[in-house]
Amino acid sequence: MKKEDWYGKAFAFFCNKECEMFPCHTVDNEDDYNCLFCYCPLYMLDDKCEGDFSYLESGIKDCSRCIVPHKKENYGLITEKFADILKKMKENKEKNE
């Protein structure tokens, strides 16, 4: 989806200032904080998520510094990764069968 197809549309942005965790990351402008992808769908892409993350000693991915899913302008970046997410889900399913 090209940016001009989704940019400025209501479906591409949701800000929940009533949330007990809002904002869950430090940002400059809370009015542009996108809560639509509260639980980041890119998490499962490991090092291909394009976010600012690290791995804890336990091997768990730590995304506490990442605001990629919360930037208003990143809706397209995330939705373009859905095919990669589905592929990863299929691989995980096959591995666990």
pLDDT in tens, 24-40: 988 889 999 999 999 99
Q: Which two tokens stand for residue 30?
A: 């809370």
Phi-psi region of 8 (alpha: psi -120 to 50; beta: other; left: phi over 0): left
Predicted TM-score (pTM) of the model is 0.82
**pLDDT for 83:** 95
**pLDDT for 64:** 92
Q: Which residues contact 31 (CB under 8 A, 6 or more apart)?
A: 15
**Spatial separation of the C-alpha atoms in residues 34 and 57, rounded to whole Å:** 30
pLDDT bucket at 56, cuts 50 / 70 / 90? very high
Using the Cα atoms of residue 38, residue 23, residue 47 and residue 82 in order, give the sign of their dihedral: positive
Report percent pLDDT > 90 for the chain: 84
Average pLDDT, the chain: 92
**pLDDT for 67:** 94
